[in-house]
Structure formats: C-alpha cells, structure tokens
C-alpha cells in the first residue's frame, strides 16, 4: 500500500479541521495575534535573566551587610537570600542547557 504525500497532507488537514470544529468548506485562518500581551520570547528570557541577576545582587548585598556587622540583617536572612539566588541561577543554567540541546537537535535535522 503506497501513500502519497499529497494524500497524507490532505488527510492531516481534514483531521485538523475536524479537531478545531470549523466547517469543512472554510479553511482554518491563522491566528492574527498569538500572544495578546505582545511579549516576545527574547524579552521574556531577558527579563528572567535580569530577575536572576537582581536576586544575586540582593543576596550579595545581604551577605556583605552581615560580614560588615549590620545588626538589621540577620545571618539567617542572608543565608536564605544566598540560597534563593543559587537556586535561581541553577534553574537558569538548566533552561540554557535545554535551549542549547533543542537548538542542536533542530540544527541536526535534515532539510
């Protein structure tokens, strides 16, 4: 049994139309706006990295305050801030690793 690519494509289109609930005679229209907040992936990634950086800077200032003997900052608060920044950094590294892995996989796909 031989299946042609055009037959397979038309079957996939009809299944997609059925799944979306649109009438068969009207083709599906691409969405005009995917993300209503108009946030770009690059902007979201930059904001996340900036937030991690802010967390690290705050933790550094807390640790410095404890080291300088500031009584308004407790050792526990400084340690918690430092751990939060460490966890945020590790999560960022894991996201970066997954993005690099996905990029390598996409680049290795045949065209």
Q: Would you list the DSSP string of 7-26?
A: HHHHHHHHHHHHHHT--TTS
Same domain, 21 and 74: no
pTM over 0.95: no
Tell whether 65 and 89 lie within a shared domain.
yes
Residues 51 and 84 in one domain: yes
User: What is the pLDDT, as a whole number, of residue 27?
Assistant: 44
For residue 50, the model assigns a pLDDT of 93
Are 5 and 42 within one domain?
A: no
Low-confidence ranges of the chain (pLDDT < 70): 1-39
Q: Report how many domains make up the chain.
A: 2
HSE-up of 33 (CA within 13 Å, CB side)? 5
**65 and 25 part of one domain:** no
The pLDDT value given to residue 26: 46
**Residue 1: predicted pLDDT:** 45
74's CB contacts (< 8 A; 6+ apart) are 66
Full residue range of the structural domain in which residue 15 is found: 1-30
């Amino acid at each position: 049994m031989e299946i042609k690519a055009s037959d397979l494509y038309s079957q996939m289109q009809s299944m997609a139309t059925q799944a979306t609930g649109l009438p068969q005679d009207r083709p599906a229209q691409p969405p005009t706006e995917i993300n209503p907040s108009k946030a770009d992936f690059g902007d979201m990634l930059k904001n996340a990295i900036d937030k991690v950086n802010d967390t690290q800077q705050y933790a550094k200032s807390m640790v410095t305050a404890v080291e300088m003997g500031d009584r308004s900052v407790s050792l526990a608060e400084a340690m918690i801030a430092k751990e939060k920044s460490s966890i945020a950094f590790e999560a960022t590294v894991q996201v970066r690793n997954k993005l690099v892995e996905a990029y390598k996989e996409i680049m290795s796909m045949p065209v």
